[in-house]
Amino acid sequence: MRRERGGRSQDLVVDPQSGWIRGVRRVESPNCDERPVGDAPELIVIHGISLPPHEFGGPWIDRLFTNTLPADAHPYFATIAERTVSSHVLIRRDGEVVQYVPFHRRAWHAGVSSYAGRTACNDFSIGIELEGADDIAYEEAQYTTAAQLIGELCRAYPTLSTRRIVGHADIAPGRKTDPGIAFDWPRLRALVAMQPGVAPGTGPGTANGAPT
């Protein structure tokens, strides 16, 4: 699926064998491992992240996910620099996609979590980070890219469904709030429904209470 960024077009094509998106910037994170035997990607989790909080751009998300975040570069970094976390993908404010973990592997993005009675959501989910903050509007380019990526993921991995897309807050209520009140779920649902191979009327939903 083709997306536009910075006046240029780029295809988002997921290779289900390697688990990588062809042609996007790749920053391999060590914070991942194999999924448990028998588990496959069944859930898509939307996150929001900014480092430092409410500031965009810079190398800091890459540095966090590769265990190279300098604790002395910002007061907030001292509180998180020792964490070993990652996500499969980041979508920056301009729609750029960065991939850290191949989709068939388990990224460490959800933490203590549950979905529809199942715990340990990392085992069976794909994590998509959007560069943003709970109370700052996300960019249209991010919604467009996220919807295109979700459509491509659902085509590459038949175990996924557009009916199983949730926010981090939905699988870790009381502990996490992202992607936050500024995230436009109806906008994402509408764009996902427009993707080739996605039946009209389907969209993000969860037994845990995400918007449907």
Residues annotated as part of the active site: 129
Q: From CA 176, how far away is CA 36, in angstroms rounded?
A: 25
Q: How far apart are CA 61 and CA 75, in angstroms?
A: 15
8: Cβ contacts below 8 Å, ≥ 6 apart: none
Q: Looking at the DSSP assignment, which residues form a beta bridge with residue 136?
A: 133
The string over 34-48, giving b where at least 16 C-beta atoms fall within 10 Å of a residue's C-beta and e elsewhere, is ebeeebebbbbbbbb
Look at strands 125-131 and 165-167 and give their pairing. Answer: unpaired
